Structure 1
Amino acid sequence: MKWILYVLAGWSTLVTSLFLASLSSNHLIQGLVMSGLVMPIILYLYQKFYRMTGVKPKTPVYSWKRLPHFISGVILAIALATLGFIIGDFQGWIDFEKWHPSEQWFIALTMNILFAFFYEALPEEFGLRGLLYDVLRYRFAAWLSVIFQTLLFVACTIAVAQIQALVGLAPGVSINLFYIILIFCFGICLQLLRLWTGSLWTSIGFHLAYLEIMRFAVSPHLKGLPPIITYHESVPIISHIISVCMMIIGGIIVSLVILGAKRFIRKSK
């Protein structure tokens, strides 16, 4: 039953680190606290887990040798989002007005990339799509491990919001049914990306690209960020719906197709 202890240790590390990071309003401090706490603990738990199972991969999913897959995740997110905008423009749902010069948004985008990488994409992927999935996979079938990991992802977000409310802080996110469904599907997508590439860096790249596309191209007004592009919507928030569906649902479909093709090839051999 040691695997349960590893799940609890990894999950509680993420929840505690997210809460402590949220105590500061400074993005730099938030990123340092989150990655500074999560990364060494998760890597330590990984080594303990490998000793428990007696099996350590020659090239772990988080190995630097798999870093090129980071670009694969970024490119896939950008390609799916671009396809969504093209479809929206073709259908008349989105009317593009202006591309803004890079000097208006480049610095803000660069700073936000650094913040999102160390505060969200890197530690969350190492903890959830990395350690927690691998521990669950040691005990369950792959499809059950994907679902259980994603439920832990949702529970982590809800737990942090509840702790923030208990101590009198404003929750970082608004927990509602739509948001729960969104992050559940997002968690499934990220886990499947890691599975077909065999690299945690794919989900890290996709996660990071998704955040920046949503913040600077789709809904920059929500966070007061400079937009990369401005456009008119025929239906309110249609661009948000299209982008989310194309990146998340599209990522799930692409991953399932590739996983299915790989399984078929293995069987045929």
Structure 2
Amino acid sequence: MNTKNFKFTNLIIYIIITCLIFIISTNTPQLLDKTTLPNDIPQLFSGLLFTLLTISFILFIYKETNKDIITDIGLLNKANRPLIIALVLPIILFILSILLGFATGTLHNLSLSSDGSAWYAFLLNVLVAFLYEAFPEELLVRGVILSELRKKLSFLSTLFLLPLVFALIGLLSHAFSTLIATGNLTPPPLIILIQFYIFGIALQLYREYSNSIWPSVLFHLICLELTRYVFNQQNNPIILFNEPVTGIMLLIGLFLTMYLGSIVTLSVLLFLRRKN
């Protein structure tokens, strides 16, 4: 930690600007939906806007306040063992989730979808989710805000504080989205905020262990696509299976294996590294 370079005003400004970028970008699709554009274009445009605003903000920080911001974020780190492990871990956990589903009897008749529209929607969403969610969100939250916090606070302090900031930003974005769409200021359900918080802890552990933003971006993206096109069998999935209770694989696959599996595995790896 380098407390001499920490500025509370910078932290507050970073959080406010991050909130504004989130709100502007997440509400743009609703404005574009009123046009005659195809359904996929509004979110793709918003993703480009979200990413461009984020990169512009980071370049502004680099130019005006912190020449080390790119290094602090770990955007251009060279490949090393922790980085490779962190990049491979989500894939291993996904495979483990499928094996766990078979072992517990909650998954039957596994097969790949032959529906071309499902694969088209999935591939398009990979691009949209990268631009609209995974990449800019990680650069802002686990990048800019976390880097500033770590100048003042310890790893454990930020591990529990930053996911709370992440959940609150998500709350504000959701509230403004519903306000624009319905005219009512409706907060998201409590379970969504709890999910954001647990998800935020896992994402931060990827960032901490690898010292790079890319594993958290990859984990973020994989979890989004698993939620939308694998574990949720009601949404034209690319992997088909039967489950005895609707949504049970979403619980076992996403929360138990991907989230908690990442938290436990990375915590052990960090403990062993600090011990050595």
Secondary structure of the structure 2 residue equivalent to 1:138: coil
Could you tell me which runs of 5 or more consecutive residues in structure 2 were left unpaired when the two chains were aligned: 34-41
Q: Which shows bigger deviation, 85-94 or 57-66?
A: 57-66
- Quick one: which amino acid aligns to residue 57 of structure 2? I
1:165 is matched with which residue?
178
Match of 1:230 in 2: 240
* TM-score where L is the length of structure 1: 0.85
Which residue of structure 1 aligns with residue 147 of structure 2?
134
Query: Taking every aligned residue pair, what percent have the same amino acid on both sides?
Result: 25
Gaps of 5+ in 1: none
Cα drift, residue 47 of structure 1: 5.4
Distance 1:48 1:96, change over 3 A: farther
**Cα distance in 2 for residues equivalent to 1:13 and 1:256:** 31
- Give the counterpart of 1:40 among 46, 56, 81: 56
CA distance in 2, matches of 1:135, 1:87: 39
Alignment of 1:89-168 (within 5 A): 89-101=102-114, 103-168=116-181
Asked whether the 8 Å contact 2:111–2:240 carries over to 1, the reply is: yes
In the alignment, the residues of structure 1 paired with residue 189 and residue 127 of structure 2 have an alpha-carbon distance, to the nearest angstrom, of: 28
How far did residue 58 of structure 1 move?
9.2
Counterpart in 2 of 1:23?
28
Amino acid at match of 2:237: P
Q: Residue 9 of structure 1: which of 13, 23, 34 is its match?
A: 13
2:225 counterpart (212, 216, 222):
212
Cα gap change, 1:161/1:167 in structure 2, threshold over 3 Å: closer, same or farther? same
**Aligned with 2:151: secondary structure?**
helix
Letter in 2 for 1:7: L
1:48 is displaced (CA, Å) by 4.5
Instruction: Pick which of 153-162 and 37-46 moved more.
Output: 37-46
Q: TM-score, normalised by structure 2?
A: 0.83
CA shift digits 1:172-220 (9 cap, x unpaired): x971221111110100000011111111111011111111111111115
Partner of 1:85: 98
Which of 226, 236, 259 pairs up with 1:248?
259
